[in-house]
Structure 1
Amino acid sequence: MLKKVGMVGIAAFCALAFSFPTQSFAHGDTHTVQEGDSLYMIAKEYGVSAKQVQDINDKSNAEIQAGEELQLPDGASEYEKDLLARLIEAEAEGESYEGKVAVATVVLNRVESDRFPDTIHNVIHDGYQFSPVLNGSINQPASEESKRAVNEAFAYQGYDQGSLFFYNPDKADSSYLESQEVTTIIGNHVFLR
């Protein structure tokens, strides 16, 4: 009986441990710096934060040398990157590439904020936050541009203006959002913190 209870407990733990997507930034792969590389280019290629690459390699600035071996943080899972790209496609369709990067950055900033859930999946599925989740348009495939915007947003993470919200004032009316500090306006979207 005790053995059966223990096995059920282990099975339940494993089911929970593997059913929720997570975002981890422990040490991951390494990258050998090539001539012409920059921290930002490397971060964008791997879909990780340039600031985190700098931090885990104990660099006081962004200077790197050809032949140098850099530790890379683990990035988001492929599931999370795809989910974020599909959200960008649905939320920022018709917006500029810069606008798509900014929308992705809002999601990543929310993951880092104490005010929101701490995974990409949970931020995107947090109640009524994003209309594509509610209307199902998030289930459509992402364009290559939206996928590139995800990696760009990861690389840019930590260098932006800390936007936590965005909206299109021609399509939505919110006294709460209107009371927040505007960080930038890109295309039809107003970004705020």
Structure 2
Amino acid sequence: MKKRIWLSSFIFTMSLLLFGFTSNADANTTHTVRSGESLWIIGNQYGVPISSIKRVNNKTSDMVFAGERLSIPAGVTASERDLMARLVRAEAEGEPYAGKVAVATVVLNRVDHKDFPNTVRSVINEVSNGHYAFSPVQNGRINRAADAESIRAVNEALAFRGQGSGSVFFYNPRIATNHWIATRQHTVTIGNHVFAK
């Protein structure tokens, strides 16, 4: 009897670990459009860029209709979104909302760029020549929970992924200690951060 209870508990725990922490973005799925939904809302829900949803469904416009079935490509997982939002809070706390979106966009641009790792987690945790790509990973500030604005900024960056000026770097010139980044092409300044590619 104890073996059966233990086995049932073990199976339940393993199923939670394997399946319980996934999100809709973890695998391709089909979404039926509800009244009032837009590609923007659907993209935010699944953590998938609008352009990807349009491409997979051969759509040339942003129009969707209630009852329409859309194929949703795999996107950024819920755990990756949380990690990005924690990084955004740590890097851009006190910065304007647009700056928070831009920080999240830098992470996504790096994932899509040939010179950087190809996953959100790998980009954020990258260490090169003993230097962390993002100081909050080194100093532990990334371990704080994300705030609502950082979560919203990540969702917006995901929905518009692939758009913008292609920034893959950002820095605060007042506190930067390594000035090589100033040699990169400047794309935009938002708040205290200079973005570059």
Whether TM exceeds 0.5 here: the answer is yes
Q: Which runs of 5+ in 1 are unaligned?
A: 1-17, 19-24
2:142 is aligned with 1:134: no
**2:156 pairs with one of 138, 143, 152:** 152
Within the candidate set 147, 158, 165, 1:161 is matched to: 165
Q: Which amino acid aligns with 2:183?
A: S
TM-aligned CA deviation for residue 189 of structure 1: 0.8
Residues of 2 paired with 1:35 and 1:77: CA distance? 26
Three-state SS of the structure 2 residue aligned to 1:61 is coil
Percent identical across equivalent pairs? 50
Which residues in structure 2 correspond to 1:85-100 (within 5 Å)?
85-100=85-100
SS of 2:165's partner is coil
Equivalent pair of 1:46/1:151 in contact (CA under 8 Å): no
2:58 aligned partner:
58
Does the alignment pair 1:175 with 2:182? no
Do 1:33 and 1:68's aligned partners in 2 also have CA atoms closer than 8 Å? yes
Can you give the 5+ residue segments of structure 2 that lack an aligned partner in the other structure? 1-17, 19-24
CA RMSD of aligned residues (A): 1.9
Conserved 8 A contact 2:26-2:77: no
Aligned to 2:190: 186
d(CA) in 1 for partners of 2:159, 2:182: 29
The letter of the residue matching 2:149 is E
Distance 1:145 1:161 in 2: 22
Residue 32 of structure 2 corresponds to 32
- Amino acid in structure 1 at the alignment position of 2:141: S
Contact 1:100 1:149 in 2 (8 A): yes
TM-score, structure 2 as length reference: 0.80
State the distance in 1 between where 2:26 and 2:137 align.
29
Q: State the Cα distance separating 1:81 from its structure 2 match.
A: 1.2
- Secondary structure at the counterpart of residue 157 of structure 1: coil
- The CA distance in 1 between the partners of 2:31 and 2:190, in whole Å, is 34
- TM-fit CA distance, 1:26: 8.6
Q: Is 1:115 matched with 2:115?
A: yes
1:65 deviation in Å? Answer: 2.6
User: How many residue pairs align between the two structures?
Assistant: 170
Deviation at 1:175, TM superposition (A): 3.3
Question: Is this contact kept in 2: 1:49–1:156, CA < 8 A?
Answer: yes
Spell out, residue by residue over 1:85-142, the C-alpha distance to the aligned partner (whole angstroms, 9 max, x if none).
1111100111122111110010011001000001111101111110001111111111
> TM-score with structure 1 length normalisation?
0.81
